[in-house]
Structure formats: C-alpha cells, structure tokens
Amino acid sequence: MTMPKRDTYTPESLLAVAVEVFNERGYDGTSMEHLSRAAGISKSSIYHHVKGKEELLRLAISRALDGLFGILQEPEARDGRAVERLEHVTRRTTEVLMTELPYVTLLLRVRGNTDTERWAMARRRDFDHEVAELVKQAVADGDLRPDVDARLATRLLFGMINSIVEWYRPSRGGAATADEVADAVVRTAFAGLRI
C-alpha cells in the first residue's frame, strides 16, 4: 500500500474525469485532446496512466456491469417469491444506476462499433435476460398481470429505470434523493400512475 507522494492522477481518478467528458460529448464525439483539457494534463501524459481511449471505456463499463450483476447475487434477489425478488432488483437497479451514474450512463449508450462495445452490449443483454426470467416467473405465480407479454413488460420496466440517466443529477440539493426516486420507480412500475 503506497500513498501518492505528490497529488497526481491514478488510472481511477483519470477515469472519473474521462467518463464525465464521455457522457457530455458522447464517446465518439470525445477526442483525446478534449480529455487532456478536462484533466489538465497533456494528451501524451494520459498514455502514461492508461493504454488508450478504448481502455478508459472498458474500465468504465466494467465498473457499471460489476454494480449491476452484484445485485443479482444479493440474497433478496435470489430467495423468495419471484415478484418480491423482482421488486428488489428494480429498486436496487435504480439505486446502483444513481450511485454509479456516469459509468452506467456510458454503458447504456454504447453502439457496438468496437469489440469492447459489443462485449458490453452482450453483458447487458445477459442481465436483462435474467430479469426477464424473473418477470416470467412472477406472471406464472399469478402476481403480475398476464395481459402484457413478459418480455415486453421487462423492456418497458428497464426503459423506465434506465431513462433516469437522462435527467438525474446528484448535485441538485432540492431535487429528489436516490431513495425517493427508487420509491417512485417501484410504485409507478408496479402500481401504475392512475389512482
């Protein structure tokens, strides 16, 4: 365990800066020049910490995926009635999305132009499929309405959750807290908007 002798960048702290810029301008719309200006070091110095632009993307995406798949390992997501497990996954996914906001945002926006991006998309699909199984089971248990296709319902549910990255900004003191948003998501998704 070595403490940094002067305050300098680590791959992690550089990643935090890079991810912010990626999310503002889009990954393809961000040049290494943009990153260097945002980080306050020269373009070539970035290569001292990371191998290149795509590694920054890979690191960010890995962090997001680790957070999401971690949810599926939690006891509340593995034991009990399917509909309860689904509610837990819904709430926790919303929470992870907000605590790891910039990383998950990046994950949700990859288009599949490189191997790294295609791998990210495949892992995301894996996660979605696991939740879709949960929905299917809950329908079979008679806990979810059977008149909406399970696959479609899963997609709409994730659509609602994932859209949080489009507007949630943790800084806003007056805005909703993570808990309040998670409550609203679970309530809206399961009970609906109407009275």
Counting every residue written for the chain, the total comes to 195
Contact criterion met (CB below 8 Å) for 178 and 99:
yes
Stretch that binds DNA, among 50-58, 127-135, 141-149, 169-177 (CB under 7 A): 50-58
Stretch that binds DNA, among 48-56, 87-95, 121-129, 177-185 (CB under 7 A): 48-56
Does 23 bind DNA (CB under 7 A)? Our answer is no
- Count residues binding a copy of itself (CB under 8 A): 43
Task: Choose, by CB under 7 A, the member of 16, 20, 38, 53 that binds DNA.
Answer: 53
Contact criterion met (CB below 8 Å) for 53 and 42:
no
166 binds, among a copy of itself, DNA, none (CB under 5 to 8 A by kind): a copy of itself
Q: Cα separation of 80 and 84, whole Å?
A: 7
* 191 membership: H or E segment, kind and range: helix 178-191
Does 38 bind DNA (CB under 7 A)? Our answer is no
Q: Cα separation of 12 and 135, whole Å?
A: 36
172 binds, among a copy of itself, DNA, none (CB under 5 to 8 A by kind): none
